[in-house]
């Protein structure tokens, strides 16, 4: 429908002024036989009026399309705002909130493109941030820091035993075969 309207508008913008030019030119005052009025002025006035008619027909056919597109974009922004508000309400403050973007259709395109961007979230863990981590998870670079123990052993004595690699949480059990 909009393509048909655009084609009719293009034809009317060019065709109506061309069809009306001779009619407009004929209505201008013709100089009396003894008076000296330049015929170039009549032609300039007729051409100026034809250009005005072409701009008027261009506005007549393009303003409804522009207004229709603006109304559609405003409705789409309002709908995206509601979707974003519902995401904020339902996700809580720990989950990532998706970003909604829409590309509305152009004149010769009739599809809407919806783009949903979901930020990457960190994986959840049952470990407390300050808890002991087994050696296979994020092993420290320092060899002395392989096992957490608040005191260094005295020279000549072995390092005191800590809990070691006993699987305490479900996250740790998957690396062991039973």
Question: Phi first, then psi: what are they for 99, rounded to 5°?
Answer: -105, 130
- 92 conformational bin, left if phi > 0, alpha if psi -120 to 50, beta if neither: left
> What are the DSSP calls for 90-157, one per residue?
HHTTTS---EEEEE---TT----EEEEE----PPP-SS-TTS---TTSS--SSGGGSS--SSPPPTTS
Q: 3-state SS string over 35-67?
A: CCCCHHHHHHHHHHHHHHHHHHHHHHHHHHHHH
Question: How far is residue 56's CA from residue 112's CA, in Å, rounded to a whole number?
Answer: 31
pTM: predicted TM-score of the whole model, two decimal places? 0.53
Q: Among 87, 112, 14, which residue's Cα sits nearest to residue 55?
A: 14
The 10s digit of each residue's pLDDT in 130-169 is: 666 666 666 555 655 555 555 566 677 666 555 555 555 5
Residue 5 is predicted with a pLDDT of: 82
> Residue 93 CA to chain centroid, in angstroms?
24
Q: Where are the domains of the chain?
A: 2-94, 123-178
Query: Out of 4-18, 64-78, 86-100, 162-176, which region has the weakest mean confidence (pLDDT)?
Result: 162-176
């Amino acid at each position: 429908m909009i393509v048909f309207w655009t084609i009719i508008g293009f034809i009317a913008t060019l065709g109506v002024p061309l069809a009306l030019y001779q009619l407009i030119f004929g209505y201008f005052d013709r100089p009396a036989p003894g008076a000296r009025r330049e015929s170039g002025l009549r032609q300039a006035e007729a051409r100026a009026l034809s250009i005005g008619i072409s701009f008027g027909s261009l506005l007549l056919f393009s303003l409804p399309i522009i207004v229709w597109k603006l109304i559609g974009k405003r409705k789409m922004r309002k709908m995206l705002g509601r979707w974003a508000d519902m995401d904020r309400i339902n996700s809580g403050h720990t989950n990532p909130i998706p970003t909604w973007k829409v590309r509305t259709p152009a004149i010769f395109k009739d599809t809407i493109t919806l783009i949903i961007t979901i930020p990457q979230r960190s994986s959840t863990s049952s470990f407390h941030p300050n808890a002991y981590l087994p050696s296979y998870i994020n092993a420290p670079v320092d060899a002395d820091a392989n096992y957490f123990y608040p005191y260094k052993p005295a020279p000549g004595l072995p390092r005191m035993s800590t809990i070691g690699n006993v699987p305490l949480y479900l996250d740790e059990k998957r690396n062991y075969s039973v």
